[in-house]
Structure formats: structure tokens, C-alpha cells
Amino acid sequence: MNKDVRNNSGTLQVKLPSNIGTYERIGPSTWKWALLFAYFAMVVDGVDIMLLSYSLTSLKAEFGLSTFQAGALGSASLAGMGIGGILGGWACDRFGRVKTIANSVTFFSIATCILGFTQSFEQFMALRFIGALGIGALYMACNTLMAEYVPTKYRTTVLGTLQTGQTVGYIVATLLAGAIIPEHGWRVLFFITVIPAFINIFLQRFVPEPKSWQLTKIDQIHGHHPEEVVKQKPKSASIYKQIFANLKHRKMFLLWMTTAFFLQFGYYGINNWMPSYLETEVHMNFKNMTSYMVGSYTAMILGKILAGFLADKFNRRSVFVFGTIASAIFLPVIIFFNTPDNILYLLITFGFLYGIPYGVNATYMAETFSTDVRGTAIGGAYNIGRVGAAIAPATIGWLASGGTFAMAFIVMGAAYFIAGVLPGLFIKDRQYDPQKQ
């Protein structure tokens, strides 16, 4: 039910949306419901991202695709995630974190389900791009929500744990692909993705918007006449103007945008092509490959949780830099030193290492910007940086088209190295407390 905002004299001014003015409902345990809600959304996000990777070989065969075209499907998906993330960051500030998460899950779950009905490469790529808008919006909204719910002293531990939701999604997708694709084909794999849309509707009822966001929105409205409020509804352009008018915010925005470009080039390049590499160059059969990937993703869960704990105990920057540089060094090791006997251990070690930056990234970024611009700034910087993610699958596909992934993995390692050096030199820890306005 909508609520009234009154000025100091008690004069009625404007009706508030139903998700503003509900912070009285927030109790000591509310953050746990918020974590469950966001964690479920991140699991769904991870499932959706990896379904395409495990379907690439089947899609190539059914639609007669080249390696470059198969990579282009991944690039279209990641381009949609980038645009969706920018829109999602704005929606977080404009409409609320919880509302953005709920609508995003419903949107991309339905869009991914419809992929099972596509009949051509062009149809699949267009619909994948559209559905990916919701995936991109979801990721930033989940991290912003939890950054504003969890106290500073263990914020990174909780957000690192939240990141494991995406990795659990990778494992779920891996198990589903191994069980469904060999027997029933890739289309059935996409049909089942509509289920989360219904679970999501139930969970959102238990999570109010964060108090800091609600108070910020009330402050923006308080003291204005209703007609003025309508005219002065925040627009993304005005929030970006706020960001770039502030020297500190502008500098952090550009640094995170560049860091995100190289981090995501490496991360999504690996996610998109590692299964194909294991099938084509290491010569694993599909079921063995999925088992090995489960081992890698399980190690990633440990890496993210441990990274969050260490970042709270010490600092965000050093843990983030260690994870990116170690991943950069280890990628060539996988290519040049793998054997049938050691490949599982190499994948588990790498899974642990390349999970570390994502165990710290959300908190590190959230504490870089103030509440009034946080959603838009993080969404904009991270998702403009998704250009790196968007070009990675097609670029890696092109580099591997000569018959080997060696150069492709070296390029991804270089991207990880740059992603570690920039924040290591220029981005300080804990610049803002997300629980304050």
C-alpha cells in the first residue's frame, strides 16, 4: 500500500511507492532473507550463463555453425548482459534493488525457456541477446542489495558467499547438461529454465528494500510538492552527471570500467571456451568433461568464500590483486603442462584461483561509491566493462580457429594481469560505508 510523505509542518506531499517507507520491517534477521533471495537469484544467473557453453557443440551441429559463429553467440549474450547491467544499475537507484532483482529473474527465465523453440542461428542469437539484458541487470542488483544489508566487518565474507551462488549455478548447469543433452538434446535443457520465475515471486515478499536506499529516496522527495516530484523523477542521465561532476567518483568509475573490461574478458572467455578446449584438445568425452568442470567449480566456491573472509580480515585490494595475478600466471600452465594424469588437479587449482577476484569484487566496488549513485555507478562501470566479456568468446574463437587454444589462453592471462595491476595501484579500500546514506 502506498504511503504518505509529510514535511516538518505535517503537510501531505506525495504518495510513495509500496517499497519505500517499509524499513520498519527490517529486523536483525532480515539480511538472512535478503541473502536467501539474492543467493537464489545468483544460482539462476549462473545456470543461465553456463547453459550456452554446454550447448555450443550441439548448436554448432544443428545450425551448421563455424567456430567464430559459435563464439558470436556467446558475445551476443554478453553484450546483452552489459547493456542490461547498465540499465539494471539505473533501475536499482530508480525503482529499488529488490524490485530490480525480481523482475530480472522473471524476464530472463522466460526468455531462456523460449530459446528451446528457436529454429535458426539468427533467431537464437537475437533472443539470447534480449534475455541476457535481465541477466546483466540481476548481477549488479544482487551485489548492491547485500552490500547495503550487511555490516562492514563481515560484508566481504557474506558477499563472497553470495558469489558462490553463481558458481553453484555453474555446477547445476553442468550436472543438468551432462544428464539431459546426451539423452534428450539441448532444447529440453532450455525448457526447464522457466521454473525459477515462479520461485522468485514467492521469495521477494520477505525482503524489504535496504534502509539506506529508502531513506535516500525519501530525502529526495521530502519537501517537494507532488507536481514537482513528478517532474523531478531521477533519470539515468542526471545520475551520470552527478558521477562525472565529482572528481573522485569520475576517477573511480573510469578505473573500475577498465578493470572490469580486462577481468571479464578473461573470466568469460574461460567460461565460454574451457568445456570446448577440454573436449577438442584434451580429448575428454562429454560426461568426463562435465565431471572435471564440477571439480573446478567446487574449488571456485572455496576460493570465493575464503577470499571474502580474508578481505574482511585484511583488506579488499590485496586479496583481489592476488587472485587476478595468480590466475594470469596459471592459465599458461594449464595449456603447456597438462597431462591426462594432472589435468584434474590443474583445473581444481585454477578454479580456486579464478574464483578469488569475484569473491571480493562486489564489496570492493560497492565501497567505492556513495549511496545516491552506487547502483548506477557500479552498474555503469562494471557493465560498460562487459564489452570485454562480449568480445571475448568471438575473439577466443577466432584465435583458436587455427587449431589450438594456446595463444587464446595467453591473451586471457594478459587480461587478468592488467585487471590486477590497475586496482593494485589506484583503487583504495573502503572509501564509503554502504549502510549509510
Provide φ and ψ at 354, rounded to 5°: -85, 0
pLDDT at 261: 95
The pTM (predicted TM-score) of the whole model is 0.74
Secondary structure of 170-202 in HEC code, one letter for each residue = HHHHHHHHHHHHHHHCHHHHHHHHHHHHHHHHH
Q: How many CA atoms lie within 13 A of 269 on its CB side?
A: 30
How is the chain split among helix, strand and coil, in percent rounded to 5?
80, 0, 15
What's the chain's length in residues?
437
Question: CA neighbours within 13 Å on the CB side: how many for 134?
Answer: 24
And the C-alpha cell for 113? 525457456
Instruction: Return left, alpha or beta for 403; rule: phi > 0 is left, psi -120 to 50 is alpha, else beta.
Output: left
- Numbers of helices and strands, H then E, in the chain: 17, 2
How far apart CA 413 and CA 262 sit, in angstroms, is 10
3-state secondary structure 309-323: HHHHHCCHHHHHHHH
Residue 363: the pLDDT is: 86
In order, the DSSP letters of 381-408 are HHHHTHHHHHHHHHHHHHHHTTS-SHHH
For the chain, report the end-to-end CA distance as a whole number of angstroms.
Answer: 25
Q: Taken in order 242, 244, 245, 247, is the CA torsion positive or negative? A: positive
Question: What digits encode the pLDDT tens for the residues 149-189?
Answer: 887 788 888 888 898 898 899 889 989 998 899 889 999 99
* Three-class secondary structure of residue 235 per DSSP: coil
Enter the C-alpha cell of residue 390: 562480449
pLDDT tens string, the chain, 437 residues long: the values are 445 555 555 544 567 777 787 888 888 888 888 999 999 999 998 898 888 888 988 998 999 988 788 878 888 887 888 888 888 888 888 889 999 999 999 999 999 999 999 999 999 999 999 999 998 888 888 988 988 888 778 888 888 889 889 889 988 998 999 889 988 999 999 999 888 888 777 777 888 988 888 888 888 776 554 344 444 444 445 778 889 999 999 999 999 999 999 999 999 888 878 887 888 888 888 878 888 888 999 999 999 999 999 999 989 999 999 999 999 999 999 989 999 889 999 999 999 999 999 989 988 998 999 888 888 898 889 888 888 887 887 788 888 877 678 888 899 999 999 999 999 999 999 898 776 65
- Helix (H/G/I), strand (E/B), else coil: 428: coil
User: What are the structural domains, with CATH classification, of the chain?
Assistant: 29-209+243-426 (1.20.1250.20)
Q: Is the dihedral of CA 333, 338, 341, 346 positive or negative?
A: positive
CA distance 187 to 189: 5
Q: CB–CB of 132/112 below 8 Å?
A: no
What is d(CA 238, CA 293) in angstroms, rounded to the nearest whole number? 44
118: helix, strand or coil = coil
The 10 Å Cβ neighbour count of residue 201 is 12
Question: Residues 16, 5: contact at Cβ < 8 Å?
Answer: yes
Residues contacting 245, CB < 8 A, separation 6+: none
